[in-house]
Amino acid sequence: MNRMTTTVAVAGASGYAGGEILRLLLGHPRLRSGELEIGALTAGGNAGTTLAEHQPHLLPLADRVLQETTPEALAGHDVVFLGLPHGSSGPMADALSPSTLVIDCGADFRLEDPADWERWYGSDHAGHWPYGLPELPGNREVLTGATRIAVPGCYPTVSILSLLPAVASGLVEPHVTVVAVSGASGAGRAPKANLLAAEVIGSARAYGIGGAHRHTPEIGQALSRVAEVPVAVSFTPVLVPMARGILATCTARTTASAAEARAVYEKAYDDEPFIHLLPDGALPTTGAVVGSNAVQLSVTVDEQAGTFVAVGAIDNLTKGTGGAAVQSMNLAVGFDEVEGLSTVGVAP
C-alpha cells in the first residue's frame, strides 16, 4: 500500500448500505486522483458472486467478486465500512486493528445507555462509538481522527436535524412528535413478504406505532443531550411507495412565533454545507434530494394551534446512511468534509 493511498473495504457490499457507499466512493475525487482505492468487497450469503448481480448500477465494479465477510478479508485496509445485520459489528470490529477506521452503518454502537439498547434490541449492549452526525454541536471535533464511528439511523438523522435548533434553544416544549414517511429501501434487502412490490405499491402503512420502532431512543438521546433536559419523543414511521427518501414532519408545542423559529434555524444552520433551510413558502420534497447528501428543511409555527412544525427531507440511503458514512470518513481521515458528496439531487 502506497502511503498516499487510503484503501477502503466494504462489508455487506451486496446490500443497500454497501451499494450506496460504493456509489459515492466511485464519484469521490480522491478515487480519481488515486489517493483512495476500493479494496475488498465482502458479503454473507452472496459471497462468490459478482457485484453486478446485486448492484447492476455500479458498472465500473461489475466484475468484482464478493469475498466472504471475515476479519481476514477486511484486514489490511485503512478504512472498513460495515453494512451488516444488527449484532454483527461488535465482534467484527474487535477483530480489526484499533488503528483501522471502522465505520458501522448498523445500530450496535449508536446508543449510549445500555438500558435503552436492551429494551429495544433485547441483547447485550456492545458499547457506543462517536456518532457520525457532524452537524451535532461539537461533534466535528470528535469525529476528526476517530477510528470507530457509528453512522446514525436514517430516521434519527432527519428527525434530529429537523428538531435540533428548536429543542436546543428551548423554543419548544421538550415533548416532540415525529411522523416520518420513508421509501422501501430503508427496510433493507432481505426478502420479506410485506416488502414485496405488490404489497407496497399503491399503499401507505404505519409500522411500529406507540414507540415500538428502534430509532425512537436514538432520537431522544440526541435531543435530550442538546436540550439538557429529557425530551419525550413520539415517533411513527410510515412506509410509502417509493424506493428512496424520508420526509419527517416534526411538531412540538410552542409559544414562539414563526419569525422567531425561523431566526433560530437560520442562525443554527447558516454555515452547514449540507443543511438547506428553504425560503418561506417553499417546502421540501424527497425527490429533490435523491442521491444527494443534502437535508432540505422548512420550519414554521401554527400560531392558532400553538404548534411548531419542522419538515425535513433526506435521502435515507445517502445522508441517511452511505453519505453520512463517507462524510464521517472524510472528517476522520482528514479529507475535506464535503468531498464526494453532492447537494445536487437526481430529479424528477
Catalytic residue list? 154
Distance separating alpha carbons of residues 347 and 331, to the nearest angstrom: 28
Residue 236, helix vs strand vs coil: strand
The site string for its own copies over 16-35 (x = CB under 8 A, - otherwise) reads x--x---x--xx--------
For residues 146 and 162, which CB has a smaller minimum distance to its own copies in the complex? Answer: 162
Given 31, 136, 313, 332, the residue binding its own copies (CB under 8 A)? 313
Residue 330 engages its own copies in binding (rule: CB under 8 A): no
Cα–Cα distance, 91 to 119 (Å, whole number):
21
Q: Which three cell numbers stand for residue 152?
A: 446514525
Least distance (Å) from its own copies to the CB of residue 346? 4
**How far from the centroid of its chain's Cα atoms is residue 319's Cα?**
5
Nearest by Cα to 287 from 328, 347, 331, 330: 347
How far apart are alpha carbons 28 and 25 in whole angstroms?
5
Smallest distance, its own copies to C-beta of residue 250, A = 9
Cα-atom radius of gyration of the chain, to the nearest Å? 20
Options 79, 136, 294, 331; binder of its own copies; rule CB under 8 A = 294
304 lines the binding site for its own copies (CB under 8 A): yes
Q: Does 249 bind its own copies (CB under 8 A)?
A: yes
Q: Is residue 64 within the footprint of its own copies (CB under 8 A)?
A: no
209 scored as a contact of its own copies (CB under 8 A)? yes
Site for its own copies in 72-101 (CB under 8 A): none
Could you tell me the strand order of the sheet in which 79-82 lies?
67-68, 36-43, 6-11, 79-82, 101-104, 148-150
Q: Under the criterion CB under 8 A, does residue 70 sit at the interface with its own copies?
A: no
Q: Which of 142, 168, 195, 263 binds its own copies (CB under 8 A)?
A: 195
CA distances from 44 to 9, 59, 110 (A): 14, 21, 23
The Cα 161–Cα 86 span in angstroms is 24
Q: Which stretch binds its own copies (CB under 8 A): 69-77, 80-88, 153-161, 201-209?
A: 201-209
Give the total of residues touching its own copies (CB under 8 A): 93
Chain centre distance of CA 112: 17
Q: Which one among 39, 152, 291, 340 touches its own copies, defined by CB under 8 A?
A: 291
Query: Residue 232 in 3-state DSSP?
Result: strand
In the list 89, 159, 221, 286, the residue contacting its own copies (rule: CB under 8 A) is 286
Instruction: Return the number of the residue (90 or 183) whose C-beta is nearest its own copies.
Output: 183
| Interface of this chain with its own copies, residues 211 to 240, rule: CB under 8 A | 211, 232-234, 236, 238, 240
Map the footprint of its own copies across residues 38-57, applying CB under 8 A: 52-53, 55-57
CA 26 from centroid of its chain's CA atoms: 19
Could you say whether residue 197 binds its own copies (CB under 8 A)?
yes
Residue placing its CB nearer to its own copies in the complex, 96 or 341: 341
Q: Give CA separation, 163 vs 65, 89, 95, 310, in Å.
A: 43, 29, 37, 7
Assess 270 for contact with its own copies (CB under 8 A).
no
DSSP 319: I
**241 binding its own copies? (CB under 8 A):** yes
Location of C-alpha cell 447537494: 343
